[in-house]
Structure 1
Amino acid sequence: MTEARIIIVVAMAENGVIGRDGDMPWKLSTDLKRFKALTMGKPLVMGRKTFEAVGGKPLPGRPHVIVSRGPKIDMPGVETQASLQAALERAKVIAHASGVDEVCIAGGGEIYRQALPLCDELHVTHVEAVIDGDTVFPAIDPALFELVEEAAFPAGEKDSYPTRYAVYRRRAAA
């Protein structure tokens, strides 16, 4: 089996905002269902603050590797690593052992910033709105990432905004 690909999964507003006050500044039930389908069975790497923001317990069906320089998080289905690099190495081992070919990075802002140069693909939910927030996703450089898939979704019954789901693949080095 080849080494697991690194996938960033993120929802961001038109102005790059991904969070406000430690939470997501929108409700997107449709996107959460897509996130679950995309990440199910795959190792999920995230920072400690993001882990706490999603409830401080692992999302079902996905092994979690949490990046934290603080105390180890001691619960089933969760491992703690002191750096993103160590977390990715551990997540790749878990992916290989689980027979999956992707490791998913789920935030937050600092983890995304560090992971962007390392990732193979971006799965981006573009929230069709300009939203106030305190955490942003770095700009996606079209010289580095090519848009390979895109679909628009109207706001569903439990969604604050319409969205556009896009997949960007890292371009081959010239």
Structure 2
Amino acid sequence: MGKDKVHPKPIRLIAAACNDMGIGKDGQLPWNIPKEFQFFLDTVTSVSSPGKSNLLIWGRKCWLSSLEITHLFRNCLHIVLSRTLSSVPKHADYVCQDFPSAVELASTFPLCNQVETIWIIGGVEVYKESARHPWCDLIYLTHVMADFDCDTYFPEFDREVYEQLETCEYCRGTANHQPDDSSLSLDRKLIACHDSFEIGQRLFMFKV
């Protein structure tokens, strides 16, 4: 495998947002939904075979607010994006100054041999930039069907580029915001780009 060759990787966004597309408050999730968190973990840690890994890209603030859960991400490598950090932050594997640098790292030797999927964990600016990338094929977006006080919102994306593929709704009673929001209704949406091409055995979607 040529060391300078670029090997495209699927880029996928994953998030949960409430009725007004809020995703955070003071650097934390505004809700506590164990089943949704488990869905998130199962999705981003899933790989096709032993020895493979997914690459998770985090904004600096998002990473620093999640240090207590980083040990839960099996089969994952972590890149933190920051223009100010001079060294790799605690529990992370790499630090990059910008999103293109992180994608290049994942898609060239030696990481290209190990990485299967690039997952975007947040924050807002990383979501915005990654949704415009030609390798971005899917957005996993869970609608938490309730109102929360948020100061951070999932960004708009081009609805002419993306379309909803499927939805999976489940409901377990009425909303109960504290201390466990497991009773909230959730509506999971799988949103994809319109056009597709195939790399290996995996079908990707891409922007024209």
Structure possessing the higher radius of gyration over alpha carbons: 2
With normalisation by structure 2, the TM-score equals: 0.74
What does the per-residue CA deviation read over 1:49-71, in whole Å, with 9 as the maximum and x for residues that have no partner? 00011126734321001101122
CA root-mean-square deviation: 2.4
Matched, 1:25 2:39: no
After superposition, residues 42-81 of structure 1 pair within 5 angstroms as 42-55=54-67, 58-59=70-71, 60-61=73-74, 62-71=76-85, 72-75=87-90, 77-81=92-96
**RCO (CA 8 Å, sep 6+): is it higher in 1 or 2?**
1
Aligned match of 1:114? 129
- Change over 3 Å in CA distance of 1:20–1:160 after alignment to 2: farther
Aligned residues of 1:65 and 1:87 also touching (Cα < 8 A): yes
Segment drifting more, 52-61 vs 25-34: 52-61
Aligned match of 1:170? 193
Match for 1:90 among 85, 88, 105? 105
Q: Secondary structure at the match of 2:122?
A: coil
Match for 1:6 among 8, 11, 25? 11
Segment drifting more, 134-143 vs 50-59: 50-59
Segment drifting more, 85-94 vs 14-23: 85-94
Unaligned runs of 5+ in 1: none
Match for 1:37 among 38, 42, 47? 42
Segment drifting more, 16-25 vs 82-91: 82-91
Aligned residues of 2:128 and 2:157 also touching (Cα < 8 A): no
- Aligned partners of 1:91, 1:11: CA distance in 2, in Å? 25
Q: Secondary structure at the match of 2:54?
A: coil
Aligned length: 173
- Aligned partners of 2:15, 2:95: CA distance in 1, in Å? 21
With normalisation by structure 1, the TM-score equals: 0.87
The 4+ residue runs of structure 1 with deviation greater than 4 A are 74-77, 155-158
1:154 Cα offset (Å): 2.2
Aligned match of 1:129? 146
Residue identity over aligned pairs, in percent, reads 24
Aligned residues of 1:4 and 1:95 also touching (Cα < 8 A): no
Aligned match of 1:148? 165
What does the per-residue CA deviation read over 1:76-119, in whole Å, with 9 as the maximum and x for residues that have no partner? 6520000011112223347632252x210000112112222112
1:139 Cα offset (Å): 2.5
Unaligned runs of 5+ in 2: 2-6, 46-52, 174-179, 196-206
1:141 Cα offset (Å): 3.5
Aligned match of 1:105? 120
